Structures are given as C-alpha cells and as structure tokens.
Amino acid sequence: MKLTGLGVSPGIGIGRALVVTRGIRSLRFRIPDRRIDAELERLDAARGRSREQIRQIKERIAAALGGDHAYLFDAQLLMLDDPMLVDRAAAIVRDERLNAESALQRALDEVSALFDRMDDPYLRERKGDVADVVGRLCTNLASGGDPADLFRDVEGPLVLVSDELSPSLIAQLDFQRLAGFVTDAGSWTYHTAILARSIHVPAVAGVRNASGAVAPGALLAVDGSSGEVLVDPPADVLRELEARSQKRRAYEQSFDEYGALPAVTMDGTPIRIEANVELPEEAVRARQRGAEGIGLYRSEFLLAGTGAAGLDEDAQYRVYRRLLEAMAGGRVTVRTFDVSEAQLGLSHPGDGEPSRTPLGLRGLRLSLSFDDVFQAQLRALLRAAVHGSLRVMFPFVTGVEELRAARAAVTQARESLRARGMSVPDVPIGIMIEVPSAALTIDLLASEADFVSIGTNDLIQYTLAVDRTDDRVSRMYEPLHPAILRVLRQVAKGAGRRGVPVSVCGEMAADPVLVPLLTGLGLREFSMSPAAIPVVKQVVRGIRIADTVRLATRALKAATAADVEKVLADSLATVK
C-alpha cells in the first residue's frame, strides 16, 4: 500500500508504525512476545479499577437520585465482564500482540458494529455505554501518560503515525529511535516541521487518515522528499530504498568539509553563517557544522519540553548559560518567547476567552502584557550574559513603541539584578522583522535597535496574507513573490544605511538556491538549521558579489514569482 502527502522534512526513514492519536491519549503499537503476560495483567488490573470506580459511582447516584438512576451502572458493570469486551481484547493482545489500548479499541469497534445492526433503538443506544466503559478502561490503563515513556515497550526504529503532531510531543521523545513522522493533518505548523528537520527525521504530512489506515506495527518507509509512505513494502523495494537513503546520506556528508571552511565569496566578502537552534543540545552540533554563532535560539521550545517549569528564572538561566558556553565565545542570539497566549498556558488578566488567532496576543506583545513572565526571562538572560557573547532579540515587533517598551523592560530587569548585588554587562538588543509594519518602518526601528533579523517565515505569510498552515492556500506561500524581494531589499538598505547589522533567520536563508539572490539584495548574515550550513557555505564560496547584484537587479524587475524563478534558473550556471 502507498500513501501520499506533503514531504515536510526530507530524507528516507524506515521503521515500525506507532500510532498516536488525540494528543497521546490513544497509542496503538505492537508489543514483543515477552510482554504479552504483563499486558494481560495490565488489562485485568484496569478492569478491576474500573469495576471499583463504577461501583462507587453507582452508590453515589443511588444516594443522590435514587436506585432507579443507578441501574445504568449495573449495565456497565455487566459490560465489564461481557466476553465480547475485555475478554475479547485479551484474546487480541495474545493472538495479535497488540497493546491493550489497541485491543480494546478493536473490541469496541466489533461490538459497535453489532449494535449498529440491531433494530431495537433502545439497544442501539447502549453503544454509547460500551464506549463509556472502554474510555474508562483506557484511562485506567494509562501509566501516567508521560510522552517520554512513549517508546518504552516498543522495539526497533519507529515511525510515529499521528492525527496531528505538536512540537511539545516531539520535543519529549527519544530522537534516536525515531525513523519518521506521518501525520493526517494537512500541513504542519512551522515549529513542528522545523523541529523535525532539525533532528533530521523524515516527515510526511497531510496523509489523510493515515492514523486510521496504518496498522500498529506495520513496516513503513517514509520518503520526506517525495511525500510518499510505503506500507509493508516488498523486500526488493525496501533494499532499494535503503540504498537510496545511504546514497543521500553520503551526498550530504560530501558537503561536510565545507562546514569547517570560512564563508567568504570568491571576491573576498565575508558572509556570516549562524545556526538556528531549538534545543540547547543542538548547539554543539551547530558548531561542528561550521556555525559562527547561534543566530536564533527559539526560547519558546523551553516551554514545549517542560511546560510552565520552563518559565522559572533559574531554569532559564541554566539553559542560556549552557548555550553560551557551548558556543565558546561565539555569539548567541536568544529570541524571547514567541508564543500565543494558549501556548504559554496562562490567561491574560481581565480577559475572558483568550485570543487564538496568530494575529492576537503573541510574541513581544504577549511578553509585554505578562510582566512577571517577561521580567523572569530578561533577568535570566542578563544573568547568563556574563558567560559569553549574548544578544537579546524580540519577536513579532510591529513598531517603535513596542521596541521602546521592551527596552524599558530590559532596564527594569537590569535594575532588579543590581538590587540583588549583581553587575550585568551591556547586551545588544535587537528585533525580528517579520511583520510588514516593521519592514516598512525599518529606518525608524533601525535607529533604536542594535541589530535586526528578518524572519522570512512570518514576513512572507503576513505580507502575502497566506496562512501557511492552511493547506488550501499554502501553495500561495511564495518566497519569490516580487513583494517579498522588494521588502527584503528595503530592510537590507534601511538597516545598512544606519549601520545596523541585519541578518536573515527564516527558512529562506537555508535554501542554497536563494542565497545568491539574498546576497545580491545586500544581505550578509544568515542563520539556518545546522544541517543546511555546509551546503550554504559551499554556495557562498562559489559566488561573486557583483554577479549576485546583477542577479538581484534582474529578479527585482520580474513581475511574478515564476518569472523570478526563471531568472534564478537562468543564472545558476553563470553565478557559479
């Protein structure tokens, strides 16, 4: 069987399917033989706990509402002992080596199908009661439900098949055991895709109903470049895929040597190459791949891994210090939390329903309205600053007022540290340019910021009014749209005139085909996922600034994205 979707993280991964749906509330996988007895005991214990709970519920209802209302729970108690439910699930565990949750789900499906065929509407309605009992059994089976335990009982490399995948779930998993991701959801949020690419796990999204169609334990081959997922492929196909995967790795490794070389153009212009990092442990790899510094540490990933514990000042201080030390003097740019209110897990004081739109309370706006959270992060950053070369960057800035407010918050954090008797070094303060209003006022912002970094991921979607996570319009997300080229040119010029360093840290910077164009538009600093660094360095070492300026001039005259693409394609031979 072949499933198709959208490749969102390249490479080929082969492993056994672990099906995770509804967050992690439903896990389906195949268990090893040696675990069968333990799984049956788990099922039985869940039945015992459920029986006890239902008895208690029955007593409470009988006491509060009378015995007439309690009969429902007698029916549920009988269901627990019905051979078609838990006993049937036990047989599935034994015969098919499925985990207890999977087996219960199957037994429920079988019983439900039986109820559907019944003529009596009263009996048909009992289907809901069976589902209720199975839900309770599954809750009682959950062993705390910690995603970190997810792989404990499963063997070999795994492909996570899921209805949707959050960055926080990925962040908690054992990356070594992950061979691929397959999701039903049409398109991924940036952060999930970015994280998959950072940890080099091939991924295919938008495979409608993969989580329903793929059997737990099936052998999957995920091609994150073509967007294809093969289910139980024949041995010869598998061999061919493994060979392709090895070839791809060898090809990637062939660029590795460029990581150690300086990124200087053929005519002697140095280009600064830094890394985007989501997890502190990636810093070491970033250096190995040739990053001069960290151009973007997405600090909100602290929250993805640990939840609200990540807000603690000391916990943050340790992470920032670790990053700075790992870079051994190399510059580290930490972006303050770029999350929405819901992701922060706090609600805004005085507000009823929190805003859930990407244009709502997020990024710097959110930090400015949660003073305690913002101050704790700024204090942690300023304390860490003594351990290396730190820069602080604010996300989602829309104008000068916000930058001023953020600077005032830094001053406040500095003063509270002084009051603790600490001395704090000066730290450059910069902003992301990812909202059109910031790009259009670059001259004003650059007069008050120490540096700026262009976040093309958001800048493109807000300039073009295209939600990249909406698969009905994501095709229109076009980095080569003439409007994007102009806005990049304007920001490069505006910042350059005021002598303010400007970098690009969105995904455009990681695309080797676009690097000559960006250079021609006047950009000299790029930050990207560590994996992309060697290839980009190789491109940089093969270009001349004068050629790239000519290329950019031609591209800026093109009327459509397709025309810009043609300009790039035509020039590839000459630029090299």
- From the CB of 224, what's the least distance to ligand PEP, in Å? 19
Within 454-483, which residues bind Mg ion (CB under 5 A)?
A: 455, 458
Q: Which is nearer to ligand PEP, 164 or 434 (CB)?
A: 434
DSSP state of 337: P
Binding mask 311-350 for ligand PEP (x = CB under 6 A): ---------------------------x------------
Q: Which is nearer to Mg ion, 292 or 434 (CB)?
A: 434
Cα–Cα distance measured from residue 307 to residue 300, given in angstroms and rounded to the nearest whole number: 10
Cα–Cα distance measured from residue 264 to residue 259, given in angstroms and rounded to the nearest whole number: 12
- From the CB of 191, what's the least distance to Mg ion, in Å? 9
Partner from Mg ion, ligand PEP, none contacting 505, C-beta within 5 to 8 A by type: ligand PEP
Total residues contacting ligand PEP by CB under 6 A comes to: 11
- From the CB of 133, what's the least distance to ligand PEP, in Å? 44
- Active site positions, annotated: 191, 505
- From the CB of 90, what's the least distance to Mg ion, in Å? 50
Q: Which residues pair with 26 in a beta bridge?
A: 21
DSSP state of 23: T
Among 228, 274, 458, 525, indicate the residue that binds ligand PEP (CB under 6 A).
458
The number of helix segments (H) and strand segments (E) in the chain equals 25, 17
Supply 82's token pair: 């019905």
Among 207, 505, 536, 575, indicate the residue that binds ligand PEP (CB under 6 A).
505
434 contributes a contact to ligand PEP by CB under 6 A? yes
Partner from ligand PEP, Mg ion, none contacting 190, C-beta within 5 to 8 A by type: ligand PEP
DSSP state of 13: E
Cα–Cα distance measured from residue 455 to residue 458, given in angstroms and rounded to the nearest whole number: 6
Q: Helix, strand or coil for residue 201?
A: coil
Q: Which is nearer to Mg ion, 102 or 377 (CB)?
A: 377
Partner from Mg ion, ligand PEP, none contacting 456, C-beta within 5 to 8 A by type: ligand PEP
Q: Which is nearer to ligand PEP, 79 or 296 (CB)?
A: 296
CA neighbor of 539 nearest in space, from 518, 561, 564: 518
CB 297 within 8 A of CB 198: no
Cα–Cα distance measured from residue 163 to residue 184, given in angstroms and rounded to the nearest whole number: 5
How does strand 158-162 pair with strand 178-183?
A: parallel
CB 80 within 8 A of CB 51: yes
DSSP state of 299: T
CA neighbor of 170 nearest in space, from 158, 154, 186, 187: 158
Q: Which is nearer to Mg ion, 461 or 538 (CB)?
A: 461
167 contributes a contact to ligand PEP by CB under 6 A? no
DSSP-assigned states of every residue in 522-546 = T--EEEE-GGGHHHHHHHHTT--HH
Binding mask 188-217 for ligand PEP (x = CB under 6 A): --x---------------------------
Supply 102's token pair: 């999977």
CA neighbor of 531 nearest in space, from 259, 325, 171: 259
525 contributes a contact to ligand PEP by CB under 6 A? no
The pair phi, psi for residue 84, each rounded to 5°, is -80, -10
298 contributes a contact to ligand PEP by CB under 6 A? yes
175 contributes a contact to ligand PEP by CB under 6 A? no
Closest CB to ligand PEP: residue number: 455
- From the CB of 481, what's the least distance to ligand PEP, in Å? 15
Cα–Cα distance measured from residue 545 to residue 510, given in angstroms and rounded to the nearest whole number: 19
Q: Quick one: residue 348, left, alpha or beta (phi over 0 = left, psi -120 to 50 = alpha)?
A: beta
Binding segment toward ligand PEP, per CB under 6 A, in 94-102, 121-129, 414-422, 454-462: 454-462
Supply 546's token pair: 């004068």
Q: Which is nearer to Mg ion, 458 or 525 (CB)?
A: 458
Binding segment toward ligand PEP, per CB under 6 A, in 205-213, 406-414, 422-430, 456-464: 456-464
457 contributes a contact to ligand PEP by CB under 6 A? yes
Among 292, 434, 507, 547, indicate the residue that binds Mg ion (CB under 5 A).
434
Q: Which positions ≥6 away from 250 have C-beta within 8 Å?
A: none
CB 544 within 8 A of CB 560: no
Supply 97's token pair: 């080596």
Binding segment toward ligand PEP, per CB under 6 A, in 208-216, 410-418, 455-463, 532-540: 455-463
Partner from ligand PEP, Mg ion, none contacting 115, C-beta within 5 to 8 A by type: none
Partner from ligand PEP, Mg ion, none contacting 477, C-beta within 5 to 8 A by type: none
Among 5, 290, 330, 455, indicate the residue that binds ligand PEP (CB under 6 A).
455
Alpha-carbon torsion, ordered 490, 449, 298, 349, to 10 deg: -110
506 contributes a contact to ligand PEP by CB under 6 A? yes
Q: Which is nearer to Mg ion, 184 or 278 (CB)?
A: 278
Please give the helix or strand (H or E) that residue 178 lies within, else none. strand 178-183
Query: Within 172-225, where are the H helices?
Result: 190-198, 210-213
- From the CB of 298, what's the least distance to ligand PEP, in Å? 5
DSSP state of 45: H
- From the CB of 457, what's the least distance to ligand PEP, in Å? 3
Cα–Cα distance measured from residue 556 to residue 568, given in angstroms and rounded to the nearest whole number: 11
Among 162, 367, 456, 463, indicate the residue that binds ligand PEP (CB under 6 A).
456
- From the CB of 339, what's the least distance to Mg ion, in Å? 11
- From the CB of 338, what's the least distance to ligand PEP, in Å? 6
Binding segment toward ligand PEP, per CB under 6 A, in 85-93, 253-261, 416-424, 451-459: 451-459
Supply 488's token pair: 């990049």
511 contributes a contact to ligand PEP by CB under 6 A? no
Cα–Cα distance measured from residue 265 to residue 537, given in angstroms and rounded to the nearest whole number: 9
- From the CB of 511, what's the least distance to Mg ion, in Å? 17
**Contact residues for Mg ion, defined by CB under 5 A:** 434, 455, 458
Residues that bind ligand PEP (CB under 6 A): 190, 296, 298, 338, 434, 455-458, 505-506
